Structure 1
Amino acid sequence: MQVQLETLGALERRLNITLPMADIDAQVAQRLQRVARTAKVQGFRPGKAPLKIVEQNYGAQVREDVLGEEVQKSFAKAIQEQKIDIAGYPRFEPFDNQTATGESFTFSAVFEVYPEVTVGDLSGQEIAKATCDVTEAEIDKTIDILRKQRTRFNHAERAAQAGDRVTIDFKGTIDGEAFAGGSADNYSFVLGEGQMLPEFETGVTGMSEGETKDVPLNFPEDYHGKDVAGKQAVFAITLKNVAEPQLPEVDADFAKNLGVADGDVAKMRDEISKNVTREAKRRLQARVKEGVMQALLDVTPIELPKSLIDMEIGRLMQQAREDMMQRGYGAQMKDMPLPRELFEEQAKRRVSLGLILAEVVEKHSLSATPEQVKAFITEQAESYENPQEVIDWYYASPERLDGPASVVLEDNVVAFVLSQAKVNEQAVPFEELMGNN
């Protein structure tokens, strides 16, 4: 086997490989003999046809199979000998004016190699590290949110006000003509939550059950309904029901509703505190991780293999289709073409970070240790009713540990980068932290 390596570009290579035909012919002859033992040829019993006739019937396919296998084997051997790290998949092509006859067969494989990755100086990078204290006040706010999520509405014999759930009939017209989407019966919404346009809600506020009135409304120029955007409408509104909110008391029933079997309110607060603290920690980590990844990208210019970008775009497109199918858009999304440019920048970022992280992990020995993985799984399991069952599930199958190990590895990279860069701690309000997800 003769091998010649050509450089076509920064990352593109061509490997020219020449194989002696004598070896290929010998393999073809051996395989034809094996085929002849069971070959079914018209006019002969199975396995009794002359070798020459078997060759006439099966020779072309056997030669094609042998050549395909030899191409793969010789290419794998050549890249191993040349110590080439291939990115993506090679493209095989025969040389011009060459066929699998004569004394040799030459083919070429065109492919890309992985780039050399040199992580730049991180000491000049400034990374914001958000901090947030979870105090009793934050626990109270969380309990208030949980109470609002369990609000009950009771019929009220009074005019509608902010916070009430109202049920109305309405019919909108523009220049006296009804328009699509402008009418509904028994439509319910909560006043003050921004479900309707402000002028509409203002018109309903103060109405009493059974009352009907006309409410003028100007649709904004940027309204999502293009047919009515910028136009003035009049809505005939009839108020059919007013229901006032009633929040549950923070008592034993409320605690039981949140999963505390004995209704102990103190225990409920402790569980909420643990969950909120855990979620705040997760969001803080996500913020600093994003800053770390951006710092690594900023100091590490890198030439990206097109093949890896194409593969990542394909993965992202498939994920997008599966996500839309899960959201109920139907099986037609399976083969729907999606614009590649929508995913290109995200694909480039992911490929870049994959290459950079691999270099950082290898150079600084940051792989996840079994002890770290166990600690991570144990912490995650604490949020479940039976933590040991969760831990046992992970350790029941080795591949289930890949996810936690990947998270721990990234955490190790984050810790390393923070130790090298300039870290600026920034306090973040609890509401802002919990609202950004």
Structure 2
Amino acid sequence: MKIIAKSKRPASQIALELEIPPETSKQAYEQVVRDLSRKVKIPGFRPGKVPRQILVQRLGSKNIKAEALEKIVQESVQSAIDQESIAVLGNYQIEPTFEELVGNYKPGDALTFLASMDVPPEVKLGDYQALEVKAEEVKYEPSQLDEFLDQQRSRLATLVPIEDRPAKMGDTVVVDYAGRLSANEEGEEEAISGAEAKDFQLELESGKFIEDLIAGIGGMEIGETKEIPVKFPEDYAREDLAGQEAIFNVTLHEIKEKELPELDDELAEEISDFETLAELREHLESQYQEKAENETKGNIETALTKALVAIAEVDLPETLVSQESETLVKQSLMEMERYGLDVNQFFTSDRLPQLKEAARPEAMENLKSSLSLAEVAKLEKLEVDKEELEKRVAELVEQLSDRQLDMDRVREFVTDDLRQEVALDWLREKATVELVPEGTLKAEEEEAEAPEPDSETEVEPAIEVEAETVPDESE
């Protein structure tokens, strides 16, 4: 085998043009014929005694050539890879195609072909030592703590029947309801399957049910029956109802008001392991502050990573993109299983290529980020802390104790993750980071993406409404 030429190709590929000398071409073919004559059983002949002409006639010259060529290609390509010390990703491809090679192959004649293969991409970084970024600073707001405690009081509230006033927001009501779609062009109304209930208990709070229905029940008296117009949200879970207009016939039977427990030490003991409200408040405040700090850190790291990728040149090989896309699809599958969803409805063999294709942009972004950070760690000779590595590996093994793990892959995964963290810490020390109020950058992005109004069109001024802060229920 002789390497005629070695060249770089786009998408991080290397191509090797190989020449197989005549003697190797003939020897490979003759060896296959000898091996087949010993293995193939043909009636009337002992193993190894089958005449060559009959063997070739029975098996077919093309099939014998194909087997010889497969041996030639595999051995010569592997020899060339070893000779050039190439780190190959995935499988190699040959040109011309294998079928074309078989058609042109003549044992005893020289043979040339080209083998191309994906290799780890080169990463070229710009001036990564002087990055300047903006990141949103998340601050702890004392109102978060009060909102959490109010949620806990609401959860433990006692429902007290009310008879001397109409229903209002915050109440819990018992209703009968039945929904029907609004009249179509023929004036016909259609009952909505599944939109009917008797003695249904409902909290009159935003997000608990269909917003129009909750608003319509507000103000109703006990015993009152009312028709409430409803428009289902465009993103409603039932696709057949999304965006549809309907009428709900509602009868109100009961109104119950929440009687909240006192905000005292007794409540603290019931909802936590702390004996006093002061201790609970101190603990919650510390948690919220830590959460805010972590979110700010995450914003800084995201900004640094984006800035780094913006000055990096990475020619991604298809092998890595395909692997990362598949990983993202598998992660989605695991997430759906965790929520008890039937993944077989979504991940069919027909849909898998579409899902992988849809994941490609995110896969490419992930790869550019991780490879760029790995290059920073390499250039700056940053090392991963061994104790932290062993700790993370042990934690991951414990989390995945119900699965069979490849420990080499686990260790490689954790090492890569830690290497990125070390690189980010280093970048943060070197970079100029400007912290801006939360929501600032998002507003700037939206403003930049907004289309410019037509100069001839009169534009009404926008009405700014401050959104109510939604407490994080995960705390």
TM-score grouping bracket, smaller chain normalisation: 0.7 to 0.9
Partner residue, 2:192 = 181
Higher mean C-alpha deviation, range 1-10 or range 56-65: 56-65
Tell me the SS of whatever aligns to 1:333. Answer: coil
- The alpha carbon displacement at 1:303 in A equals 3.6
- Does residue 117 of structure 1 match 2:123? yes
Conserved in 2, the CA contact under 8 Å of 1:280 and 1:434? no
Tell me the SS of whatever aligns to 2:122. Answer: coil
Partner residue, 1:3 = 3
1:38-49 to structure 2, matched below 5 A, reads: 39-44=40-45, 47=47, 49=49
- Does residue 75 of structure 1 match 2:80? no
Conserved in 2, the CA contact under 8 Å of 1:324 and 1:333? no
- The alpha carbon displacement at 1:417 in A equals 1.5
1:200-211 to structure 2, matched below 5 A, reads: 200-211=213-224
1:11-410 to structure 2, matched below 5 A, reads: 11=11, 13-30=14-31, 33=34, 39-44=40-45, 47=47, 49-50=49-50, 52=52, 64-82=66-84, 84=86, 86=88, 89-94=91-96, 98-112=104-118, 114-122=120-128, 123-128=130-135, 130=137, 132-133=139-140, 139=145, 141-148=147-154, 150-151=155-156, 154=159, 156-158=161-163, 159-172=166-179, 174=182, 177-181=188-192, 183-186=195-198, 187-196=200-209, 199-215=212-228, 217=229, 219=231, 235-246=248-259, 255=269, 260=273, 264-265=275-276, 279-306=291-318, 308-317=320-329, 319-320=331-332, 323=335, 327-328=341-342, 330-331=344-345, 333-337=347-351, 338=354, 342-374=358-390, 400-410=410-420
Tell me the SS of whatever aligns to 2:347. Answer: helix
Tell me the SS of whatever aligns to 2:389. Answer: helix
Which of 419, 424, 430 lines up with 2:429 in the alignment? 419
Residues 300-332 of structure 1: CA distance to partner in whole angstroms, max 9, x if unpaired? 244444554444444444554665566335346
- The alpha carbon displacement at 1:238 in A equals 0.1
What is the CA–CA distance in structure 1 between the aligned matches of 2:312 and 2:474, rounded to whole Å? Answer: 28
Conserved in 2, the CA contact under 8 Å of 1:283 and 1:433? no
What is the CA–CA distance in structure 2 between the aligned matches of 1:204 and 1:197, rounded to whole Å? Answer: 11
- Cα 1:189–1:366 change in 2 (3 A) is farther
What is the CA–CA distance in structure 2 between the aligned matches of 1:145 and 1:117, rounded to whole Å? Answer: 50
What is the CA–CA distance in structure 1 between the aligned matches of 2:121 and 2:218, rounded to whole Å? Answer: 65
Structure 2 segments unaligned to the other structure (5+ residues): 440-468
Residues 380-421 of structure 1: CA distance to partner in whole angstroms, max 9, x if unpaired? 89xxxxxxx88999x996654455434322211211221232
Q: RMSD of the TM alignment (CA)?
A: 4.7
Tell me which amino acid in the other structure corresponds to 1:205. G
- Cα 1:153–1:241 change in 2 (3 A) is farther
TM-score where L is the length of structure 2? 0.69
Tell me which amino acid in the other structure corresponds to 2:73. V
Q: Number of residues paired by the alignment?
A: 421
Residues 335-370 of structure 1: CA distance to partner in whole angstroms, max 9, x if unpaired? 243266633422321232233233222212234221
- Cα 1:365–1:265 change in 2 (3 A) is farther
Tell me the SS of whatever aligns to 1:128. Answer: strand
- The alpha carbon displacement at 1:145 in A equals 3.8
Conserved in 2, the CA contact under 8 Å of 1:376 and 1:408? no
Conserved in 2, the CA contact under 8 Å of 1:5 and 1:13? no
Conserved in 2, the CA contact under 8 Å of 1:32 and 1:59? no
- The alpha carbon displacement at 1:374 in A equals 4.7
TM-score where L is the length of structure 1? 0.74
What is the CA–CA distance in structure 1 between the aligned matches of 2:141 and 2:250, rounded to whole Å? Answer: 45
What is the CA–CA distance in structure 2 between the aligned matches of 1:397 and 1:113, rounded to whole Å? Answer: 24
Identity %: 21
What is the CA–CA distance in structure 2 between the aligned matches of 1:433 and 1:197, rounded to whole Å? Answer: 20
Tell me which amino acid in the other structure corresponds to 1:210. G
